Chain A
Amino acid sequence: MDKNHSDPILEIKEVSKAFPGVKALDRVSLEVFRGTIHGIVGENGAGKSTLMKILSGVYQKDSGEIFFDGNKIEDITPVQSMKMGLSIIYQELNLVNTMTVGENVFLGRFSEMGGRKEVHAKARVLLDSIGCKIDTEKEVSELSVSDKQMIEIAKALSFDSKLIIMDEPSSSLTADEMQELIKIIHDLKNKGISIIYITHKLDEIFNFCDVVTVMRDGHVIATRNIDAISRNEMISMMVGRTIENEYPPRPNSVGEMILEVEDINTKLLKNVHFNLKKGEILGFVGLVGSGRTETVRALFGADKVKKKSIKVDGKFVNINNPIDAIKNGLAMVPEDRKIQGLLLQFSVDKNISLASLGELTYYGFINEKKERDISERQIKALNVKTPSGKTRIQLLSGGNQQKAILGRWLELKPKILVLDEPTKGIDVGAKYEIYLLMKKIVEEGGSIILISSELPEVLNMSNRVITICNGRITGEFDPLLASADEIMAKAFEF
């Protein structure tokens, strides 16, 4: 380790945390030194977020010790951790949209700060110190994501933070905004503040981090100085196996055109157009909020659009709601499994039969025998691990829940299957099963649109990749020919 930074601000010793069915953190140890920018990388589900939530007091650890600034941390609340000088800037920003910038900086400390005037004056000083010119009287709902991040940083500074943790701050920033953020991070470092920078983008780690810790499956794999690790080393540590093993061989049986999206326009989306062929997996690459999810939702009739013209099998179709979409052979596994996908209080049976209910209905009556058959067939076909079809789906693991949702759609034999973050929050084994399933679907003549935040997943599974940025299609690639860097460049283009 670097001799200059020999005094740790944060020490994590052998911390473990388990959730029902998942060991989220397994004896994780980590030291962060004063005045360093410490990167933490790892794929989704590596345990980064869990670790941060333990630090901030949102979760309580099962075992292990944490020392911050020389003090042992035990049963801490989020506020206590902030007051100790440990601030976290989450991906889902912690701001009240209906309140002003100034009040958000000092949320819950109105009279401590001395009333309205003082709040705004002090917020002004803090914002100026990071070169941010937003009016403190402005309502937060009117701000861009990057502005909101600045306010979070100002909020962190207002607590005299000694350590600021940034959880994937770049995930919705433009290139310029990113440069601005890097400058601020360096300023903070010069003021003696330590930064933990969580990301899964390797470039950022190499650009400005001093030290990096790689996490995988709830373990810390290694902590190295940045000049002591190569990119390839880092990747193999993150993934833990060669990439070939992680994904089944790419299917290749692309046939004739099945879907032609000539134009989709919404408030966000500008003239989005693309096509999909039979037996093809089409990957969408873009940031959260870039328009990738919005595009498929518009396609599926889930949201209102300004203008839309879509051809399925060469014929123009009108899709105004999900029912129309299903009639035209579309199916969608939505982004948020618990809110948009599952009926948590209902049985596995009823969750699986959901989309087929129309087919099971004769003169308004549901054929319950057929319903059970469908469910049994899909549970068997997809290897859904459940005590019985009558079990509440809430009790299943994430992977099995996701397989049940897939079963719900596969029963309809859709021509076009949209998968929005299909492997989010599920374990590696179940992921592989889902990849195999995708392969099987296209080999049997289906087509898939795949959206994922995990670039390797999209690149390894897709026959073709489209980049979306700021509501526009910015590029189209063959993942076998294009490099990840090229594709990312287009996805970040503004």
Chain B
Amino acid sequence: MNTKITEPIKNIFSAQKAPIAMLLIFITMLFFKTPFYTRYNLIDLINSNSTLLIVAMGFTVVLVAGGVDLSVGGVMTVSGIIAIKLINSGVSIPVAVLVSILFGAAIGAINGYLTVYQNTEPFIITLGMGVLLTGVAQELTTARPISGENPAFQNLANYKLFGVVPALVLVMIVTVIVVVWLLRSTSFGRNCYAIGGDYEVAKYSGINVLPTKTLTFVISGVTAAIAGVMLSSWVNSGNSTYGDQTALYIASAVVVGGTSFAGGIGGAFKSLLGVMFIGILSNAFNMLNIDSYIQQLLVGLFIVGIIWLDCYARKVKRETV
């Protein structure tokens, strides 16, 4: 009985099923008369998922090193609001962007210090940080959307390179490339895998586990801040509700992609596929005119299912003796 259930699950997580699932959606959508296959929609698909992809990159780094960062939504929201507010009050755009990103790095450093050096549970600390940041965002905006007053700021994300590729997508592509390279080909990246795979062994092998793991949180804070600034520029507004479910959404997308909560397994490119898969899925739902609350239900069920399978795969592994 065990092998019957285990094998397919093992395959889902080892053989990278996200691309296949994506393909299935593409095929399914051929049978429906929807605007899914329009140039506009496909471009929008990439544009609208770019911010999430940027967040997912940093999130993956933390996960690979055996941590988790649930404050990404809060960091994203607050950074975006900081950028808009600073620019509205006359600060130059580069300075405002820099401050926002530094803010993200600082939050990441606090998360890292508390979880790594003080050895607390990352999920609960970053959950608390998320609550705290939501409060900050609400205070800064009095819980109302604020719009940007400097049109130049909009260009940051909307400027179209060669008249086609928006800067937002470009930033996303650069982030993905950097993080893929970081995790794959640098000492830091490989050390992250070692720390996530086996913390004690990594420690005894002379890896500076504490600073390395802390740095993963800083990276996560930075990518979340970049995403926040780009999102604010893209829609030219800041809103305290933007990041509400980002952490959960990203977490499940990353797990679908094949990065595990267990640490040491996965990669940035896998996360890209995972995010795109969920993005395409919800886009298809939209195209099929499914009610938005039903969509929320489906997404919720989907998330629970994916995380449950991730747990279950580990349970089966534990229990097969």
A adjacent to B, CB under 8 Å: yes
Contact A107 B194 (CB under 8 A): yes
CB distance from B313 to the nearest CB of A (A): 14
A145 to B5, CA, bound (A): 27
CB contact between A303 and one of B190, B206, B321 (< 8 Å): that residue = B321
Contact of B197 with A by CB under 8 A? yes
Contact B2 A111 (CB under 8 A): no
Chain A residue nearest to B200 (CB atoms) is A94
In the A-B complex, the 4 residue pairs with the smallest Cβ-Cβ separation, listed nearest first, are A79-B206, A111-B187, A98-B197, A96-B197
Contact B204 A96 (CB under 8 A): no
Contact B197 A303 (CB under 8 A): no
Q: Which residues of A contact B187 (CB under 8 A)?
A: 110-112
A94 to B190, CA, bound (A): 16
CB distance from B118 to the nearest CB of A (A): 20
Given contacts A108-B202, A108-B206, A306-B2, contact A96 B321 (CB under 8 A): no
Contact B205 A99 (CB under 8 A): no
Contact B265 A98 (CB under 8 A): yes
Q: Which residues of A contact B196 (CB under 8 A)?
A: 98
Given contacts A110-B190, A116-B185, A304-B2, contact A96 B202 (CB under 8 A): yes
Q: Chain B binding site: helix, strand, loop or mixed by DSSP?
A: helix
A-B contact pairs, 27 of them (CB 8 A): A58-B204, A77-B206, A78-B204, A78-B206, A79-B205, A94-B201, A96-B193, A96-B194, A96-B202, A97-B197, A97-B198, A98-B196, A103-B194, A107-B205, A108-B191, A108-B202, A110-B187, A110-B190, A110-B191, A111-B186, A112-B187, A116-B185, A266-B321, A267-B320, A303-B319, A304-B319, A306-B2
Given contacts A99-B194, A306-B2, contact A107 B321 (CB under 8 A): no
Q: Which residues of B contact A116 (CB under 8 A)?
A: 184-185
Chain A residue nearest to B191 (CB atoms) is A108
CB distance from A117 to the nearest CB of B (A): 10
Q: Which residues of B contact A115 (CB under 8 A)?
A: 185
Q: Which residues of B contact A58 (CB under 8 A)?
A: 204
Produce 1/0 per residue, B199-224, CB < 8 A to A.
00110111100000000000000000
Size band of the interface chain A makes with B = 20 to 34
Contact of B264 with A by CB under 8 A? yes
Chain A residue nearest to B263 (CB atoms) is A98
A306 to B6, CA, bound (A): 14
Q: Which residues of A contact B264 (CB under 8 A)?
A: 96, 98-99
Q: Which residues of B contact A78 (CB under 8 A)?
A: 204-206
Chain B residue nearest to A57 (CB atoms) is B204
Q: Which residues of B contact A98 (CB under 8 A)?
A: 193, 196-198, 264-265
Contact of A280 with B by CB under 8 A? no
Contact of A294 with B by CB under 8 A? yes
CB distance from A257 to the nearest CB of B (A): 28
Contact A108 B194 (CB under 8 A): yes
Produce 1/0 per residue, B99-117, CB < 8 A to A.
0000000000000000000
CB distance from B26 to the nearest CB of A (A): 32
A189 to B191, CA, bound (A): 33
Contact of A82 with B by CB under 8 A? yes
Contact A96 B207 (CB under 8 A): no
Task: Please report which residues of chain A, range 89-124, place their CB below 8 angstroms from some CB of chain B when the two chains form the complex.
Answer: 94-99, 103, 107-112, 115-116
